[in-house]
């Protein structure tokens, strides 16, 4: 009887370990999406980086930079929390310097940029400007990539408004962008927060790119797409993935945060998001 109990305990422990160990895999995951639109005549490949939080991806950030280069993107979108309020900026600066030398880059603030001191925030924004990275604080840019015209707009995170050069609040910034669904140019919104999905639906963007939720930090494959996300609470609806509303799609990256978070990610590998517009 005692022997049987011990056997059962050992078997339970083994099952538990078999479940837990793969869940703690923190290697970078490449997540790909394909978006079809009549507004796209020439395919465009976008890499979405969010929530890097100045985390470490090997010497000179090689693991992340090699993964980006392997995808040969046409442009890079940076959807906030690229810098961190606690961690030093070197890891982020290494990534930004490398990508800005090779690709057009667009950036919006996240909440953690807004939680920095004013001096650190201003230093970070100056770094972006010095590297010709477009800061989209309630404004739009028209880009022409591979002869394909795109409109890319961005709004500040609500927690970064105090430092922003744009004095409008996030909603006013969004209203000012005024997308038009009849417009034949594909219109992308870059915004840190996925929980504003209902507000994005009131406008006519083709694609919205977000981060912030970190995939809900803990996931259970096929059962739970995220346990907790900031500003959404438990069992967040917009933890990560693709969300559709009429003609508009929102893609939420699970982000790149690793050591910046006290609890390890679980079945939620940090992800590099690649989007093919075609
Ligand atoms: Fe965030």
Inform me whether the pLDDT recorded for 47 exceeds 90.
yes
The predicted structure's pLDDT at residue 109: 98
The predicted structure's pLDDT at residue 17: 87
Q: If you measure from the C-alpha of residue 213 to the centroid of ligand 1, how many angstroms do you get, rounded to a whole number?
A: 7
Distance, CA of 179 to CA of 170 (rounded, Å): 15
Q: Which residue has the tokens 């997540």?
A: 31
Q: If you measure from the C-alpha of residue 80 to the centroid of ligand 1, how many angstroms do you get, rounded to a whole number?
A: 7
Q: Mind listing the pLDDT tens digit for each residue in 50-64? A: 999 999 999 999 999
Average confidence score pLDDT of the chain: 95
Please compute the mean of the pLDDT values over residues 55-82 and round it to a whole number.
98
**Cβ contact 11:241 at 8 Å:** no
Which DSSP helix (H) or strand (E) runs through 275?
strand 271-277
Q: If you measure from the C-alpha of residue 2 to the centroid of ligand 1, how many angstroms do you get, rounded to a whole number?
A: 51
Q: If you measure from the C-alpha of residue 245 to the centroid of ligand 1, how many angstroms do you get, rounded to a whole number?
A: 23
User: HEC states along 247-264?
Assistant: CEEEEECCCCCCCCCCCC
Percent of the chain beyond pLDDT 90?
86
Query: Using 50, 70 and 90 to split pLDDT, how confident is the model at 78?
Result: very high
Q: If you measure from the C-alpha of residue 165 to the centroid of ligand 1, how many angstroms do you get, rounded to a whole number?
A: 20
Q: How far is CA 206 from CA 36, 39, 150, 188, in A?
A: 11, 10, 11, 6
Q: Mind listing the pLDDT tens digit for each residue in 126-170? A: 999 999 999 999 999 999 998 999 999 999 999 999 999 999 999
The predicted structure's pLDDT at residue 1: 65
Q: If you measure from the C-alpha of residue 178 to the centroid of ligand 1, how many angstroms do you get, rounded to a whole number?
A: 25
For residue 128, give both structure tokens. 């972006």
Q: How far is CA 37 from CA 10, 55, 182, 191, in A?
A: 54, 35, 13, 21
Q: If you measure from the C-alpha of residue 110 to the centroid of ligand 1, how many angstroms do you get, rounded to a whole number?
A: 5
Which DSSP helix (H) or strand (E) runs through 97?
helix 90-102
Task: Give the burial class of 88: count Cβ atoms within 10 A of its Cβ; 0-12 exposed, 13-18 middle, 19 or more buried.
Answer: exposed
Q: If you measure from the C-alpha of residue 16 to the centroid of ligand 1, how many angstroms do you get, rounded to a whole number?
A: 32
Q: What is the CA radius of gyration of the chain?
A: 20
Q: 3-class DSSP state for residue 133?
A: coil
Comparison of pLDDT for 49 and 11, the residue scoring more: 49
**Cβ contact 65:55 at 8 Å:** no
The predicted structure's pLDDT at residue 178: 75
Distance, CA of 237 to CA of 245 (rounded, Å): 14
Distance, CA of 171 to CA of 156 (rounded, Å): 10
Q: If you measure from the C-alpha of residue 8 to the centroid of ligand 1, how many angstroms do you get, rounded to a whole number?
A: 43
The predicted structure's pLDDT at residue 104: 97
The predicted structure's pLDDT at residue 76: 98
Q: If you measure from the C-alpha of residue 42 to the centroid of ligand 1, how many angstroms do you get, rounded to a whole number?
A: 33
Q: How far is CA 99 from CA 67, 73, 274, in A?
A: 12, 10, 15
Query: Using 50, 70 and 90 to split pLDDT, how confident is the model at 219?
Result: very high
Helix 62-71 and helix 90-102, axial crossing angle in degrees, nearest 10: 20
Provide the strand spans (E) within 2-131. 29-35, 44-49, 75-79, 105-108
Domains contained in the chain, CATH given: 2-277 (3.60.21.10)
Q: If you measure from the C-alpha of residue 133 to the centroid of ligand 1, how many angstroms do you get, rounded to a whole number?
A: 20
Contacts of 223 (CB under 8 A, 6+ apart): none
Query: Using 50, 70 and 90 to split pLDDT, how confident is the model at 88?
Result: very high
Q: If you measure from the C-alpha of residue 212 to the centroid of ligand 1, how many angstroms do you get, rounded to a whole number?
A: 4
Which residues line ion ligand 1, judged by CB < 5 Å?
Answer: 81, 110-111, 212
Inform me whether the pLDDT recorded for 204 exceeds 70.
yes
Q: If you measure from the C-alpha of residue 255 to the centroid of ligand 1, how many angstroms do you get, rounded to a whole number?
A: 9
The predicted structure's pLDDT at residue 4: 84
Q: Mind listing the pLDDT tens digit for each residue in 221-277? A: 999 999 999 999 999 999 999 999 999 999 999 999 999 998 899 999 999 999 999
Please compute the mean of the pLDDT values over residues 14-37 and round it to a whole number.
93
Q: If you measure from the C-alpha of residue 51 to the centroid of ligand 1, how many angstroms do you get, rounded to a whole number?
A: 6
The predicted structure's pLDDT at residue 15: 83
The predicted structure's pLDDT at residue 183: 80
The predicted structure's pLDDT at residue 232: 97
Q: If you measure from the C-alpha of residue 37 to the centroid of ligand 1, how many angstroms do you get, rounded to a whole number?
A: 29
The predicted structure's pLDDT at residue 132: 98
Q: CA 239, 244, 250, 251: dihedral to nearest 10 degrees? A: 60
Inform me whether the pLDDT recorded for 182 exceeds 70.
no
């Amino acid at each position: 009887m005692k022997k049987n109990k011990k056997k059962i305990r050992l078997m339970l422990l083994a099952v538990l370990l078999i479940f837990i160990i793969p869940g703690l895999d923190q290697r970078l995951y490449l997540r790909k999406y394909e978006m079809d639109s009549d507004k796209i005549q020439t395919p465009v490949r976008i890499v979405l980086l969010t929530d890097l939080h100045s985390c470490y991806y090997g010497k000179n950030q090689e693991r992340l930079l090699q993964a980006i280069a392997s995808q040969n993107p046409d442009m890079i979108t940076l959807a906030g929390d690229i810098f961190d309020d606690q961690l030093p900026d070197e890891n982020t600066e290494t990534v930004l310097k490398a990508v800005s030398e090779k690709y057009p880059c667009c950036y919006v603030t996240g909440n953690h940029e807004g939680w920095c001191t004013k001096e650190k925030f201003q230093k970070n924004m100056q770094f972006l400007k010095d590297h010709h990275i477009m800061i989209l604080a309630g404004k739009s840019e028209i880009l022409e990539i591979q002869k394909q015209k795109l409109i890319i707009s961005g709004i500040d995170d609500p927690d970064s408004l105090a430092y922003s050069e744009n004095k409008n609040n996030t909603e006013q910034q969004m209203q000012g962008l005024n997308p038009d669904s009849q417009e034949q140019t594909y219109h992308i919104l870059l915004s840190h927060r996925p929980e504003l999905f209902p507000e994005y639906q009131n406008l006519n963007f083709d694609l919205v790119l977000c981060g912030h939720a970190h995939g809900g930090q803990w996931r259970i494959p096929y059962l739970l797409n995220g346990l907790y996300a900031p500003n959404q609470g438990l069992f967040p609806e917009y933890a990560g993935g693709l969300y559709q509303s009429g003609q508009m799609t929102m893609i939420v990256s699970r982000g790149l945060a690793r050591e910046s978070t006290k609890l390890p990610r679980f079945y939620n590998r940090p992800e590099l998001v690649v989007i093919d517009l075609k």
